[in-house]
Structure 1
Amino acid sequence: MSITKQYLKSKPECKITFTFPSAEADQVAVAGDFNNWEPTSLKKFKNGTFKAQMNVPVDSEYQFKYVVDGQWTNDAEADGYKWNDFAASENSVVVV
């Protein structure tokens, strides 16, 4: 799992690339504050890696999780983790 960030010069946004390696998974999505917790599917590549990109406003932090074949999971390489009372678990955090 990894997150890469590319800050845009033309506007106050950051392009985040979410990468989730899993040859065994059939479907991987990412859901978080940046998409109202509506899972956005990651594209599966031949090497078994899933990827998706999205632009988010800068100077903020966003909670998120991956949905791997219906199971919610955190990113081991997230910028941090934050407790969520609603889900009674920690969420991954990305800071931009």
Structure 2
Amino acid sequence: MSMRHKKFIERNERYDIVQWKFKGIPITFRFWKNGSQIAEIKVDENFAKANGYESVEDMAEKTIGQAKFNEMFGGVPEWIRTDAEGNFIFVGMNPMLFN
């Protein structure tokens, strides 16, 4: 992904949301500005297809399974964190805390 071809989707005091194309597919990133260096990727159809899946549902079933996502996060999280090495870290609210 080339930094020259980024498209800003949203900018505010908390984060920037940016899109880059990966193999022609727009992938959305959120970069937090709180000094934590946290970068997240939007888990959408484009993200799933860029990773070789047909859809988010297909990705969920072929990884840990939709039931496990539901148990752990209340569904597939909207955003997934990534580290400097390109590893993915799912973060979400414990569904036991839902009202």
Please give the TM-score of this superposition, normalised by the length of structure 1.
0.30
More helix per residue: 1 or 2?
2
Query: Per residue, is there more strand in 1 or in 2?
Result: 1
**Which one has more relative contact order, counting CA pairs under 8 Å at least 6 apart?**
1
TM-score by length of 2: 0.30
